[in-house]
Chains A and B, each alone.
Chain A
Amino acid sequence: MSEKTSGPKVHAWLEEFRKYPKNESSVIPLLQLVQEREGYVPAQAVRAIARYTGVREAQVYGVATFYAQFRFQPRGRHLIRLCQGTACHVQGADSILDHLKEKLKVEEGGTTEDGLFTLEVVRCLGCCSLAPVMMIDDTTYGRLTRRAVDKVLAEYRKEGK
């Protein structure tokens, strides 16, 4: 790997790290912080977190890969999280997933060619009474049908960014 633990981004992160105690308990909050800023956890961030907390790099990887939240590849501009919780499943979320895959031409976890969307499947967004549900970034869309999905995607495409 050619990435280093220095560079402008690493400096910016380290600046923010200082709010957290320098020990193991900060590993998850720091991973969350970096992902919040970058959209994913780059390799040099893992190294920076390991150095800051005094935890071995392998162990930081171990933690990061254990939890579903962390991503190691950059993601598209908008993150689509389709709910596959029980209520959504019973209300036909499967066919919404098929439709999204078909429309976006991606598999679960994939990013569209234009880099606009990343499609993820999650278990329960806690809006069960509006099932089936998806979230795009921080906005929740409920009572989805194929047509409703098309409309929402078109809006994001129109904005283009």
Chain B
Amino acid sequence: MSQVAEVQVGMASCGIAAGAEPVFQFFAQNLAQGKVQVKPVGCLGMCFSEPLVAVVTEDGERFVYGPVDVKKAERILAEHVRGGTPVEDLLAKENGFFTKQVRIVLENCGMIDPTSIDEYIRRGGYEALQKVLREMTPAEVIEEITKSGLRGRGGAGFPTGTKWSFAAKEKDPVKFVVCNGDEGDPGAFMDRSVLEGDPHRVIEGMIIAGYAIGAQEGIVYVRAEYPLAVRRVRQAIAAAEARGFLGRNILGSSFSFRITVKEGAGAFVCGEETALIASVEGKRGMPRRRPPYPAQHGLWGHPTVINNVETLANVPWIIRHGWEAFARYGTEKSKGTKVFALAGKVRHSGLVEIPMGLTLGELVLEVGGGIPGGKAFKAVQIGGPSGGCLPAALAHVPVDYESLKEHGAIMGSGGLIVMDEDTCMVEVARFFLDFTQKESCGKCTFCRVGTKRMLEILSGIVEGKGRPEDLEVLMDLGQKVKTYSLCGLGQTAPNPVLTTLRYFRDEYEAHVREKRCPARVCRALLTYRIEPELCRDCKLCTKACPVGAIVQGAGKFQVIQEEKCIRCGRCREVCPFGAVSVR
């Protein structure tokens, strides 16, 4: 048995939220003296087992434990770190989580201390930058990226090499590279994890992009809701400057480049590139007409390349390994991998990176480990509020830009929410529309007013006031909002409604015709009832009811008075005998 060299604790935002801090402190205090290093690392991806602790031996063998609290940490310290025997029963169960994953963007995430530039360098970091500056012309860099088939990972999938070549052609001596880290999709945390767990990778990608298009300045635009990511990026920039990877005459070449950070201020629409530019300039983040595209006329009128965090994180890998290695993964038109944030009703919620072309079924049932609690897999919502809900029947659809689009969804930035039989698709559609409606900047009439009317109709349906003709109006209005909106927000806002109408029409019909919610979610359509034969008359429900709607029945059981009931479900939650039913 080889000696333990390192104890790593996953300390991304979510790890800390799950309670990693006291575990880290425990190891740090107890191993302050001696040879074993204790270090914080980024997201390991296995969010479902957080807090996570990895014990690494001198031979490089890794044992991942989770979920770990201080009590379990005591055992790991005594038995494994000091005793040399892995604690089998505390190891995190990955059950095939990693089997189908390919890690390019996430190769370092959760493996290195993100605050240490040396660890990044030890794993091949900044090699790509050296190669580019010493051996390649800007045109060759662009050609390499073009050949690799890398496409924008922010959602739309525009070929990255082509975008760069447009900006490179411009004669303007002032150009910019902007890293879009305004990850506003509810249900997405890929960019946060990469920025927190491996910030240098994104910085390196930006410098290479800058060299390729002839820019001197880069801006990282990050959501203010991600304070740790902002901090890590700032640290990384300072460290890269100190080593001469950023600044004047990088690595002795004639190329100079600097990077600054801008914090977003909470506007979903700023993920759209022209709105993002307006925001960096200090204006209201409203999109404008394209063309001219930012690659020709961007920030302060200068050519600007805007790439998503994940897109840029792919760049150093492609340069280091060559375009062929990257293009080996994926399908004909979608190369490489895609990072997804798996969440919702799925066993292995977490951060995963899969080769393009894996099917939705493989992603949810194998990588994601299926649905917890023996419930049925019903649908996935892919692409956030701009994406669509695809039913379990489409589990054979491969995850690539074209196939998803064909079925009404989009790749999006990588949020993937799994839904089970307890999720009401009408309500989910309402939820997403509520989001986009509030985030609409108000510039285009259809996006501003059309989404509002659609939301009113949907709210009516879930409140039991739906009419059969509503469904046609929704379809019609949805199409018009898509057609007559200027930017991606409006053009995609109706997608969740249109896809659920397409794949779950029967649920809409049940709501409007029978005033029934098949998933038993929409409160106004529910009836709560206490089954007399199951009720033990303990009166817990009566005490819990906030409106006093539960009274003594004619016998040893309680009864809900329907006219008083507000359908909050509190009685069902507290009943120890499962006597409260919902219909």
Contact = CB atoms under 8 A, between A and B. Distances in A.
Interface of A: 23-29, 31-32, 53, 55, 62-63, 66-70, 84-91, 95, 98, 102, 122-131, 133, 138-142
A125 B228 CA distance: 12
Q: What 4 A-B pairs have minimum CB-CB distances, sorted nearest first?
A: A129-B47, A85-B186, A140-B17, A68-B266
A48 B25 CA distance: 44
Contacts of B284: 62-63, 66
A119 to B, nearest CB: 16
B225 A126 contact: yes
Contact of A85 (B187, B265, B279, B568): B187
A140 B13 contact: yes
Contacts of B350: 129
Contacts of B415: 86, 128
5 contacts: A23-B282, A67-B285, A90-B419, A91-B344, A130-B14
B267 A131 contact: no
B176 interface: no
Interface string B158-183: 00000000000000000000000001
Contacts of A102: 546
A29 B14 contact: no
Interface of B: 13-14, 16-18, 47-48, 50, 183-189, 192, 224-227, 262-263, 265-268, 279-285, 341-345, 349-350, 381, 384, 415, 417, 419, 423, 428, 431-432, 435, 441, 546, 568-569
B431 A126 contact: no
A24 B263 contact: no
Contacts of A142: 14, 17-18
A128 B341 contact: yes
A95 B282 contact: no
A147 B441 CA distance: 38
A140 B11 CA distance: 13
B265 A69 contact: yes
A126 B192 contact: yes
Nearest to A98: B568
Contacts of B381: 86
Contacts of B279: 28
Contact of A67 (B13, B266, B419): B266
Given A66-B285, A86-B384, A130-B17, A123 B263 contact: no
B301 to A, nearest CB: 13
B13 A127 contact: yes
A72 to B, nearest CB: 14
A26 to B, nearest CB: 7
From A29, A63, A129, A142, residue with most partner B Cβ within 10 Å? A129
Contacts of B281: 24-25
Contacts of A88: 186
A67 B265 contact: yes
B435 A123 contact: yes
A29 B280 contact: no
Nearest to A30: B282
A126 B267 contact: no
Given A86-B415, A98-B568, A128-B349, 11 more contacts: A28-B263, A68-B266, A86-B432, A124-B185, A127-B17, A128-B188, A128-B189, A129-B342, A133-B17, A140-B13, A142-B18
